[in-house]
């Protein structure tokens, strides 16, 4: 049984809100925070708790991009009813988000024992932070930035959506980092790649949070910490989204790459000196 108090939930909610959509790995930072706080990172209820509070961050996306989501949903509904409306980009994009979610759902269910077991180690987080940094740097360095959101295709959505599997299997890799990097390698500009990352993360992260809710509560995490952690992550994530979109419009990803490398190296040192438990 895991003991996560309201105070712990506030801290973890802040960490989740700040890092969920920045390409620095929210899962990695949550596991590092839990390790420093003496919370067992591979405890089933703890893993479930981190998935549940992600729903707060997802809610922030729903609110921030409400008009876009309504536009996509409306176009999808109209297209379902009227085949003459199925040629629009918004209708197609709505289906692409659904299609692109299938790979990560299949892998997530099939690899759940590994994700909650051996792959939950902080050694994996440290390595993934550094390896993911190299991939992010390469993608940003070679990006052509010639295509905008209106130029996205089913192929883009499937490749970007499938790249989420890297972060699912290797905490520390970063879902946002993987999806943004893939978008850049496909020629999308940074804002388009970032927005696509947001939209493709909605179904998978929401589904994961709802699926894990029973394990969090059943594992000994109280309702109060879950609610507090989720609300805090919502508020902080909303501010983080607004900042990130402004930032990527004018800057490359070097800030995030450097930060990830520093955190990864520091984590290796802390693990190697037994300051925190893997």
d(CA 121, CA 116): 9
d(CA 254, CA 261): 11
- Spell out the residues 6+ positions from residue 165 whose beta carbon is closer than 8 angstroms to its own: 103, 104, 107
Q: Report helix angle 26-36 to 6-19, nearest 10.
A: 150
Q: What is the pLDDT of residues 79-102, one digit of tens each?
A: 999 988 899 999 999 999 999 999
- Spell out the residues 6+ positions from residue 33 whose beta carbon is closer than 8 angstroms to its own: 11, 12, 15
Q: Between these two residues, 194 and 277, which has the higher pLDDT value?
A: 194
Beta strands, E only, 67-133: none
What is the pTM for the complete model shown? 0.86
Helix (H) or strand (E) holding 53: helix 44-64
- Spell out the residues 6+ positions from residue 191 whose beta carbon is closer than 8 angstroms to its own: 148, 149, 245, 248, 249
Angle, CA 161 vertex, CA 157 and CA 165 arms, to 5°: 160
Q: Are 17 and 236 in contact (CB under 8 A)?
A: yes
Give 1's pLDDT tier (boundaries 50, 70, 90): very low
Q: Residue ranges of the alpha helices (H) in 111-189?
A: 112-116, 122-142, 154-162, 164-169, 175-185
Give 43's pLDDT tier (boundaries 50, 70, 90): confident
Q: What is the pLDDT of residues 150-182, one digit of tens each?
A: 999 999 999 999 999 998 899 889 899 999 999
Q: What does the pLDDT average to over 110-123?
A: 85
The predicted pLDDT at position 112 comes to 84
d(CA 6, CA 166): 31
The predicted pLDDT at position 215 comes to 66
Rounded (10°) CA dihedral 90, 92, 97, 103: -170
Beta strands, E only, the chain: none
């Amino acid at each position: 049984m895991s003991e996560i108090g309201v105070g712990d939930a506030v801290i973890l909610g802040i960490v989740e809100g700040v890092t969920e959509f920045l390409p620095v790995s929210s899962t990695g930072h949550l596991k590092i925070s839990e390790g420093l706080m003496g919370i067992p990172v591979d405890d089933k209820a703890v893993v479930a708790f981190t998935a549940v509070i992600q729903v707060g961050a997802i809610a922030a996306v729903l609110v921030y991009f409400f008009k876009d989501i309504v536009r996509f949903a409306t176009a999808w509904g109209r297209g379902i009813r009227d085949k003459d409306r199925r040629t629009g980009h918004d209708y197609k994009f709505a289906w692409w988000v659904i299609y692109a979610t299938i790979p990560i759902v299949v892998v997530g269910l099939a690899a759940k024992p590994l994700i909650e077991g051996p792959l939950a180690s902080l050694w994996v987080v440290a390595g993934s932070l550094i390896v993911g940094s190299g991939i992010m740097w390469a993608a940003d360095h070679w990006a052509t930035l010639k295509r905008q959101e209106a130029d996205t295709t089913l192929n883009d959505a499937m490749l970007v959506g499938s790249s989420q599997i890297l972060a699912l299997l290797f905490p520390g890799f970063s879902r946002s980092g993987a999806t943004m990097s893939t978008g850049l390698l496909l020629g999308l500009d940074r804002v388009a790649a970032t927005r696509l990352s947001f939209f493709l993360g909605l179904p998978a992260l929401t589904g994961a949070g709802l699926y894990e809710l029973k394990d969090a509560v059943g594992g000994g995490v109280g309702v109060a910490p879950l609610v507090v952690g989720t609300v805090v992550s919502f508020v902080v994530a909303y501010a983080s989204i607004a900042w990130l979109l402004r930032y990527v419009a004018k800057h490359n990803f070097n800030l995030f790459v450097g930060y990830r490398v520093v955190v990864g190296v520091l984590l290796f040192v802390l693990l190697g000196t037994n300051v925190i438990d893997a």
